[in-house]
Amino acid sequence: MGLLKFILTFIAVYYVFKVLSRLYLAYVLNKFKNNPFSHTKNKSSDEKEGDVTIDKMPKGNSKNKNVGDYIDYEEID
């Protein structure tokens, strides 16, 4: 009796999940269909197209000064 109850519960949960996922997918697709380029809008309206902005400045000097000895090469004829 316990196994039959488990199987019927599993089937009921499966069909409820199937219906809810189908409704949610239809909602998402309709939302995207109505405004497909909503994610590509710039958040800053005062910037013109082609302007370059730097959001984050690097922390300190990133070059390592202690990289080794410099060897001056001479060209051999």
Q: Does residue 41 have a pLDDT over 80? A: no
Q: What is the pTM of this model?
A: 0.41
pLDDT for position 36: 64
What whole-number distance in Å separates Cα of residue 4 and Cα of residue 8? Answer: 6
Average pLDDT of every residue of the chain = 80
Q: Which helix (H) or strand (E) holds 12?
A: helix 2-34
Taking the CA of residue 19 as centre, how many other CA atoms within 13 Å lie in the half-sphere pointing to its CB?
5
CA end-to-end span of the chain = 96
Q: Does residue 24 have a pLDDT over 90? A: yes
**Residue 59 amino acid letter:** K
